Structure 1
């Protein structure tokens, strides 16, 4: 099988192949012996180890069983599934505009009951006003050179965010104080956005913490990420949104969120930081 046209997907496949090869070597068996134990041809073992053939979930289970490494099955299966769709290419999603990008996660939002959201750059999408979202998405569309469907994209984002008012769902947000200060829109729009943030903090199913500039850090500021029900993570970068499902990866991000949450202030102290940010606009 030729290399995958996406370099990211191909790299993920190669990483998985490397991990399987190391498991075999750690077990002290040859590719031929592995093939005998798994009941397939030696050439199949070679193709998997050299990332020419993506293994099935059953292949991974057989491989680990043959090597006495059954404890690694969950992570490897998750990595195998990620190799095809872990990196959602924003440019591909955005070819028809930003609206599609907003709608691409609607099903995931509907399925999720507990959201943990950490942001270090912008107001979380869940908490954005139409004015703030318009300014942000307009900037993204201009930078990425995508079709200008910002009005439709903002409407889609607002519809998507209706899950926030569903009391059966829980939301925990941790924001860096810098998020309150970055000027991505006019002073008036930012003031309205910060006022909306104060209002959202009154919702019973929403918890908002803010990490002050003055906080003694145990965890450095990280790129924005969201944990969905403790089983999936979306970590954003400039060119892609990484969907992480390996249990070890999800555990790592969940642990990072809990550490960051401990550094955040809440209640009156958080409201004071927002009020200071509003005051700085004038």
Structure 2
């Protein structure tokens, strides 16, 4: 968890403690507050010490128990502030994958120059429906989230309209193992690789592949997107990070440029994709 995120969570906890200790009826103990809602008594301590992120419902119950409902908007704004940087999958996927896909659609629609590095799978903007369906299904299974796969796939496919609407330039780099990872049935991967070969030469997409044997300036690490050199989106198994501070953006941009030095394009990229296609088992 980032230092900035943890510091913000701890500051929020300090504010929660202030509210609990200054109720109109006098000081409210943590035990009394926990008993009010049947919480585990350690929950109050975890929230006040920045060890647990409150939910909006937690905040509402807290201010109501403390007789200070007017502080709810302030606390919610604090929560939204640090959640805008680290968005846990548990919270994001509570309503399924479709809202997450819609958020990415909006972010890309509002950008002109988009750079991506991906070391795990084909990026969503270039996915076929069957490949996207496999990825999203596995994600829902991992996170035990609602299965709205078909709606999520439709939203992800809608994003691809941005490739043809003009006004944007995609600079995408994939690591070669991505071309061979069977995170979907072989037939779906074959169609996905055909799709990638068809992307090469598009005037809105620059597709590079970093060969497995290439000398790397930096380790491959996790995938990420950079929007207009102003915002970075990357993800871990537990959360998505949306970063907009200048130092972080510059670090990711520098990383992307170092990875680009190892990438091949045009016919060389086509040959790598075609080679991966030929290695698939026959249908």
Q: Same fold (TM over 0.5)?
A: yes
Evaluate the alpha carbon distance shift between residue 234 and residue 7 of structure 1 in structure 2; reply closer, same or farther with a 3 A threshold.
Answer: closer
Which residue pairs with 1:257 in the alignment? 256
Unaligned runs of 5+ in 1: 1-5, 17-49, 52-80
Unaligned runs of 5+ in 2: 12-48, 51-79
1:200 Cα deviation after fit: 1.2
Q: 2-side partners of 1:154 and 1:10: how far apart?
A: 31
1:238 aligns with 2:237: yes
Which residue pairs with 2:8 in the alignment? 13
Which residue pairs with 1:196 in the alignment? 195
Deviations along 1:229-253, one digit per CA (max 9) or x if unpaired, are 0000001111111011110110110
1:113 aligns with 2:112: yes
Deviations along 1:251-272, one digit per CA (max 9) or x if unpaired, are 1100110110111011111111
Pairs within 5 Å for 1:31-110: 83-110=82-109
Evaluate the alpha carbon distance shift between residue 217 and residue 186 of structure 1 in structure 2; reply closer, same or farther with a 3 A threshold.
Answer: same
Q: 2-side partners of 1:15 and 1:266: how far apart?
A: 47
Q: 1-side partners of 2:172 and 2:134: how far apart?
A: 22
With the length of structure 1 as denominator, give the TM-score of the two structures: 0.72
Q: Name the count of aligned residue pairs.
A: 217
Q: 2-side partners of 1:136 and 1:108: how far apart?
A: 21
| Cα root mean square deviation, aligned | 2.5
The 4+ residue runs of structure 1 with deviation greater than 4 A are 6-10
Evaluate the alpha carbon distance shift between residue 133 and residue 238 of structure 1 in structure 2; reply closer, same or farther with a 3 A threshold.
Answer: same
1:147 aligns with 2:143: no
1:9 Cα deviation after fit: 7.4
**2:105–2:156 Cα contact (<8 Å) kept:** no
With the length of structure 2 as denominator, give the TM-score of the two structures: 0.72
Evaluate the alpha carbon distance shift between residue 222 and residue 7 of structure 1 in structure 2; reply closer, same or farther with a 3 A threshold.
Answer: closer
1:15 Cα deviation after fit: 9.1
Q: 2-side partners of 1:166 and 1:223: how far apart?
A: 29
**2:90–2:238 Cα contact (<8 Å) kept:** yes
